Amino acid sequence: MTRQLAHTSPGLRAWLGLVVILGPVLLVSMDGSILFLAIPSITEALSPTADQTLWMLDIYGFAVGSLLVAFGSIGDRYGRLKLLMIGATVFGIGSAGAALAPTPELLIASRALMGVAGATLLPSALAVLSELFPDPKQRARAIGIFAAAFAAGFGIGPVVGGALLGQFWWGSVFLVNLPVIAVFLVLAPVLLREVRATRTGRIDLVSVVASAGGLLLTIYGIKHLAADGFSAVPVVTGLLGLAVLAFFALRQRHLEHPLIDFSLFRDRTFTIAIVTGLLPLVAWSAAAYLSGIYLQSVLGLSVLQAALLALPGAAALTLTCVVTPAFVDRIGKKAALLTSHFTIAGGLLLLLPTTTTGGIGWYVASTVIAGVGYGISFSVVADTAVGAVPAERAGSAGALAETSNEIGNALGIALLGSLAALIFRLQGPDLAPTLDETLQLPGLAPAVLQDAKGAFVTGLHAAVVVAVVLHAALGAAALRWLSEPTAEDPGRDAPAAPAPKELAGKA
């Protein structure tokens, strides 16, 4: 349908529409991290294997990340509000199934269904938001709030999970989604308009299958190589996934209506921003997951105490997302990207002094400082993705940004979490594959307990070092790459940003 946008400041309906959109956005991101503190309780109740535990954590991110691009394009063509409504309904069904799952297999399946639904929600929500706010400055502010909600979901997921687990059984971390979904389904048709792209054209089903299948096969192969070591099955699976992704990329060059416009990556700032969407989530998810185990299983804190200790970092992350648009106006996106990477690296370094007997202060300081960097990265990536494209491609561009986030979230647990698990198996007492399983064994001598905790802390430190090196390397690359002006990106980037946003508002 043709856009009918008022070229004035957004009214009350637009802001109420934003609030309604933020509900499912908060849930989708929150469910990427809400299990971090719940895993010990789920392990005790369902007795999953070590491999099943990892799948419980990362199948959600795999499903979201592998389907975001496809659903972003589908929403562009067939209606973003319609896709939002369908996705919210399926998300609620998956949440109920996860809460009541009696076995690890059913919990994993329900999490996968939630991930499929989450992939329908994020890109369409960002596109509908852009429709509500045609003015570039107002839209930038709204996107900052959107990014803050998305970031807050990641940040407060462990906090909410810990608070619920302090009072209820583990399934409550999923049932909390249902009231929010119900409110959205009632109010969204009233406050939001249906939006479709002005471009026509059929969905290329081959590209949809190739993008989803290629991503899933590649991530599966990488995950099992990291967790289980070199073997034929993950190598073949990963290589097959890369081949499918290469086929997908080549196919997009010959389509009139591609799922991904790869020409966007000619812009250096855009490219670094998308990578910035990936890497901070790798570091954040691994650090949050491993720190949750550290606080509970190594230091012996309760789940509620661990949740409260996560609050300062979550607050820093959320507040940074809100103020980042004004921050970027002053120093430009390039400087903001650099600040993000070096701040995250500095914050993560503060986890290295943690020991088996203490480290709470180091943990809180680390989450606060790194949280500032995470908040900057979330806001810059979202604003860059939407502002760099015409309005009819807003859903697909938003999908690229959110895909980098979700795949980073999944890879952080799959790769860095597996690295920590490998070190635990090599240096620990070799009685069980994980620390929590080891601690559940009866009659362990104090020396064995100390060895197990020490091995876990060593694994945590190794994962942190890898994350710090990656962020420092990308920060250094961005410093060199983005300091060289190009025809597409002359010098400071601030003046160039409004042009595509103006086009998006007036399309």
Which residue is it, tokens 């054209």? 201
Structure tokens at 264: 């966007």
Q: What local confidence, expressed as pLDDT, does residue 346 receive? A: 93
Task: Find out whether 499 and 301 touch, Cβ atoms under 8 Å.
Answer: no
Q: Is the pTM of this model over 0.85?
A: no
- How far apart (Å, rounded) are the C-alpha atoms in residues 165 and 243? 43
User: Where are the domains positioned within the chain?
Assistant: 12-204+255-506, 205-254
Structure tokens at 299: 């230091």
SS3 267: coil
Task: Give pLDDT tens digits along the chain (507 positions).
Answer: 334 444 445 577 778 888 888 888 787 777 766 776 677 778 778 888 766 777 787 777 777 767 776 776 677 666 777 888 888 899 889 989 988 888 888 999 998 898 888 878 766 777 777 777 777 677 767 776 776 777 677 667 777 777 777 778 888 888 888 888 898 888 888 877 766 555 545 677 888 788 778 877 887 777 677 556 678 888 899 899 999 989 988 888 888 777 677 777 776 666 777 777 788 878 887 888 888 889 888 888 877 788 788 888 888 887 887 787 777 778 777 788 788 888 999 999 999 999 988 889 999 999 999 989 888 887 777 666 666 555 655 555 666 666 676 677 667 777 788 788 888 888 888 777 778 778 878 878 888 888 889 999 999 999 999 999 988 888 887 777 765 544 444 434 443 333 333 333 333
Alpha-carbon distance values, 122 to 5, 397, 399 (Å): 22, 11, 7
CA dihedral 480, 481, 486, 492 (to 10 degrees): -70
Q: List alpha helices for 79-171, DSSP H.
A: 80-99, 104-132, 136-165
* Cβ neighbours around 315 below 10 Å, total: 17
Domain 12-204+255-506 part of CATH 1.20.1250.20: yes
* Cβ neighbours around 16 below 10 Å, total: 15
Structure tokens at 328: 């970027």
Which of 313, 419, 316 has its CA nearest to residue 360?
313
CA dihedral 67, 69, 72, 74 (to 10 degrees): -70
Strands, DSSP E only, in 283-390? none
Q: What local confidence, expressed as pLDDT, does residue 223 receive? A: 66
Which of 225, 226, 244, 239 has its CA nearest to residue 66?
244
Q: What local confidence, expressed as pLDDT, does residue 202 receive? A: 67
Q: What local confidence, expressed as pLDDT, does residue 119 receive? A: 79
Task: Find out whether 40 and 303 touch, Cβ atoms under 8 Å.
Answer: yes
Q: What local confidence, expressed as pLDDT, does residue 417 receive? A: 80
- How far apart (Å, rounded) are the C-alpha atoms in residues 448 and 436? 13
